[in-house]
């Protein structure tokens, strides 16, 4: 039976060299660090609520709020180095080596960490990341952002529960996961930190995306950690073509493509996702 956890009961703060970072933590064993995606109101807890408890039964599960999100510090976007911030968090928590599990933006952060600090990453697991290999942006086959990214950006400009309901609806394949509760959770989180919203919008206006210092194609090709790439076939935010690129570039990698699944594989297929992650970390 899964461990029943609460946000408040798992909430922790740590001061690193550069940031005061918030994270949710539970369990013991090999560290598994969960890196959330982008979007107004995104947090480690909102992104990984169905996963922290089950994973904490076997591992030390840590879901961070990245700098610029949740309860963590904010700054102008040109001051962020999210991959380095992961290493700072690990250093402060006494973690020498960890499995990184990243959704969307978090997956792109995980790719950069695995490439730049290979001795610190035992396993690499991504869900719906942009590849940034041959494409300079997350744009699809057309000339602009994907359907999901348009709503994601609108959430920063107008983070009401109504807009957030559109956001969570487009993130998931099945409407049963686009709940009013999750929309309100995202809206409340976004509205509680106007500094995060302002810094993100200013960064976008200056041409900076949500991911600071993403991995280059050469860096992705250098990754040696065993990698599990999970992607929803029905992802309307980041097309699964990005994970097809990644699996062709990372030597020790495999791809799980899930039908009837959107951008949030860890939420829509939580039980299967938790089994895949646990088996992969234990046996690779």
Instruction: Cite the active site residues.
Output: 263
Asked whether residue 1 is assigned to any structural domain, the reply reads no
pTM given for the model: 0.94
Asked whether residue 121 is assigned to any structural domain, the reply reads yes
The domain that holds 39 is classified in CATH as 3.40.50.1820
Instruction: Give whole-number Cα distances, 162 to 150, 166, 178, in Å.
Output: 15, 7, 12
Asked whether residue 163 is assigned to any structural domain, the reply reads yes
Asked whether residue 165 is assigned to any structural domain, the reply reads yes
The answer to whether the beta carbons of residues 210 and 153 sit under 8 Å apart is no
Asked whether residue 242 is assigned to any structural domain, the reply reads yes
**Total structural domains within the chain:** 1
Asked whether residue 2 is assigned to any structural domain, the reply reads no
Instruction: Give whole-number Cα distances, 284 to 99, 125, 159, 198, 253, in Å.
Output: 11, 12, 41, 42, 11
- Bridge partners, residue 15, by sequence: 20
Among residues 275, 41, 14, 23, the alpha carbon closest in space to that of 181 is found at 41
Asked whether residue 247 is assigned to any structural domain, the reply reads yes
The parent domain of residue 114 ranges over 7-283
Q: Please provide residue 268's backbone torsions phi and psi, each rounded to the nearest 5 degrees.
A: -70, -35
Extract the tokens encoding 125.
């697991």
pLDDT tens string, the chain, 284 residues long: the values are 455 899 999 999 999 999 999 999 999 999 999 999 999 999 999 999 999 999 999 999 999 999 999 999 999 989 999 999 999 999 999 999 999 999 999 999 999 999 999 999 999 999 999 876 444 444 444 556 778 888 888 999 999 999 999 998 999 999 898 889 888 989 999 999 999 999 999 988 887 877 888 899 999 999 999 999 999 999 998 989 999 999 999 999 999 999 999 999 999 999 999 999 999 999 99
Asked whether residue 101 is assigned to any structural domain, the reply reads yes
């Amino acid at each position: 039976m899964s461990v029943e956890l609460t946000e408040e009961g798992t909430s922790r703060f740590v001061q690193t060299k550069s940031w005061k970072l918030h994270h949710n933590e539970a369990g013991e064993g090999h560290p598994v660090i969960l890196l959330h995606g982008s979007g107004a109101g995104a947090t480690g807890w909102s992104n990984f609520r169905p996963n922290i408890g089950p994973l904490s039964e076997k591992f030390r599960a840590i879901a961070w709020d990245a700098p610029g999100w949740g309860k963590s510090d904010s700054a102008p976007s040109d001051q962020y180095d999210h991959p380095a911030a992961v290493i700072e968090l690990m250093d402060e928590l006494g973690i020498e080596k960890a499995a990184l599990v990243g959704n969307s933006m978090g997956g792109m952060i995980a790719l950069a960490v695995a490439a730049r600090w290979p001795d610190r990453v035992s396993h690499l697991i991504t869900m719906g990341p942009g590849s940034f290999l041959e494409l300079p942006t997350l744009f699809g086959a057309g000339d602009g952002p994907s359907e999901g990214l348009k709503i994601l950006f609108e959430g920063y400009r107008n983070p009401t529960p109504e807009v957030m309901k559109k956001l969570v609806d487009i993130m998931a394949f099945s409407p049963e996961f686009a709940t009013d509760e999750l929309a309100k959770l995202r809206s409340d989180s976004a509205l509680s930190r106007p500094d995060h919203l302002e810094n993100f919008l200013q960064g976008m206006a200056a041409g900076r995306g949500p991911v600071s210092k993403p991995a280059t194609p050469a860096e992705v090709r250098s990754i040696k950690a065993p990698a599990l790439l999970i992607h929803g076939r029905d992802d309307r935010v980041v097309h699964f073509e990005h994970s097809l690129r990644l699996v062709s570039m990372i030597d020790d990698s495999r791809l799980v493509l899930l039908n009837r699944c959107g951008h949030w594989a860890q939420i829509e297929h939580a039980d299967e996702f938790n089994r895949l992650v646990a088996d992969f970390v234990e046996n690779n």
